[in-house]
A = this chain, B = another copy of it.
Amino acid sequence: MKPGTRLRSSFLATDSAVRKDSRGVPFLSLKLVDRTGSVDALMWRLPDELLKGLPSPVYVDIEGQTHEYRGTLQVKVERLKILRQEDVSEEDYLPTTEKDRLALAEEILLAGRGFENEHLRDLFDSMVSDDDFWEAFCEAPAAKGMHHARIGGLLEHSVSCLKIASALAEVYPVDRDLMLFGAIFHDVGKVRELAWSGGGFSYTTEGRLLGHVVLGERIVASYVAALPGFPEELALRISHVLLSHQGEIEYGSPERPKTLEALLVHLVDNLDARAAMYLESTANVGPGGWSHHDNPLGRALYVPEE
């Protein structure tokens, strides 16, 4: 969306409230969410039935115009109709990656099938051949909020980490296959920590009691256990990469990274997460503008003038 375009579409409306402007005129402020993200919106000349505001959240059909306010894109709503829940399909309003999930998955498959270490290649194959697992991996969000909180977000994050890890393998004397495996699957526990059906993202009971760090190590360990003759030392190094990927004990890793591969997987994970926080927090901010303070990086972020 750019400033000055005409908009007619349906959204999930959240955070709605009726306020008054400096002349005392009431207006409706709300957030419009769909698969592609969210945008702030305002509506003046409220019909009587909207004077007391909207139930929140609710599905709406709106007509309006985009414009820019203090460097951030907004929608000026002209008409608004409430939709009945039975007339919408909830998954149309779940934030979803804009990238091609098949193409992303292909990048991972290509990398894994190219491993030189046959044990890691077998392990990788057994995982991506398990349809239930692989489908979940390609669909899961990478988080409930924070960054990559969208259908396909885990896949996106994993592919970015894979790309950066591939570059690092040219710079440092590292076990390339193990590092790439870790870059791809460090967050695999998210497929069981999070649930993404039913109109939103939430934590599972298992996720809250065990956490994605341990769940991820368990998932991979179960595929390893099914491969006879898998080297013990390699299994230990894989488990270490998965358990230590939060980098510090106070961020939820029971041990800190003690091998070069574990250290680099952690640093790559952190780098991509923070870059995504910047990009997602400034998504609607125009050149020379500043984001809100209240984002996962905890500071106002600047989008330079071009």
Q: Name A300's contact: one of B243, B258, B271, B274 (CB within 8 Å).
A: B258
A102 at the interface (CB under 8 A from B): no
Q: Hey, which chain B residues are within 8 Å of A239, CB to CB?
A: 209-210
Q: Hey, which chain B residues are within 8 Å of A251, CB to CB?
A: 249
Interface residues as binary, A272-287 with B (CB distance below 8 Å gives 1, 0 otherwise): 0011001100000000
**Shortest Cβ distance from residue A49 to the other chain B in the assembled complex, whole angstroms:** 8
Determine, out of A39-47, A129-137, A139-147, A262-270, the stretch whose residues face the partner at the interface.
A262-270
Interchain CA distance A14-B249 in the complex, whole Å: 33
Interface residues as binary, A28-63 with B (CB distance below 8 Å gives 1, 0 otherwise): 000000000000000000000000111111100000
Interchain CA distance A264-B267 in the complex, whole Å: 12
Interface residues as binary, A238-254 with B (CB distance below 8 Å gives 1, 0 otherwise): 01100100000111111
Task: Let me know if A255 and B208 touch, CB within 8 A.
Answer: yes
Task: Let me know if B209 and A53 touch, CB within 8 A.
Answer: no
A301 at the interface (CB under 8 A from B): yes
A173 at the interface (CB under 8 A from B): yes
A217 at the interface (CB under 8 A from B): yes
A103 at the interface (CB under 8 A from B): no
Task: Let me know if B24 and A210 touch, CB within 8 A.
Answer: no
Task: Let me know if B210 and A236 touch, CB within 8 A.
Answer: yes
Copies of this protein in the complex: 6
A119 at the interface (CB under 8 A from B): no
* Given known contacts A172-B279, A213-B254, A214-B254, A300 and B20 CB-to-CB distance under 8 angstroms: no
What is the size, in residues, of chain A's interface with B at 8 Å between Cβ atoms? 73
Task: Let me know if B210 and A240 touch, CB within 8 A.
Answer: yes
Q: Name A54's contact: one of B24, B160, B237, B253 (CB within 8 Å).
A: B24
Task: Let me know if A208 and B258 touch, CB within 8 A.
Answer: yes
Task: Let me know if B211 and A214 touch, CB within 8 A.
Answer: no
Determine, out of A3-11, A120-128, A163-171, the stretch whose residues face the partner at the interface.
A163-171
Interchain CA distance A19-B164 in the complex, whole Å: 48
Considering only residues 187-209 of chain A, those with a C-beta below 8 Å from chain B are: 205-206, 208-209
Indicate the member of A236, A263, A271 with the most B CB atoms within 10 Å: A271
Task: Let me know if B258 and A302 touch, CB within 8 A.
Answer: yes
Give 16 pairs: A residue, B residue, CB < 8 Å, sorted on A.
Answer: A24-B54, A24-B55, A160-B171, A164-B167, A173-B279, A175-B304, A206-B236, A209-B255, A210-B243, A211-B243, A233-B304, A249-B251, A260-B275, A260-B278, A264-B275, A267-B267
Q: Contact residues of A with B, CB < 8 Å?
A: 19-26, 52-58, 82, 84-85, 160, 163-164, 167-168, 170-173, 175, 205-206, 208-211, 213-214, 217, 233, 236-237, 239-240, 243, 249-256, 258-260, 263-264, 267-268, 270-271, 274-275, 278-279, 288, 290, 299-305
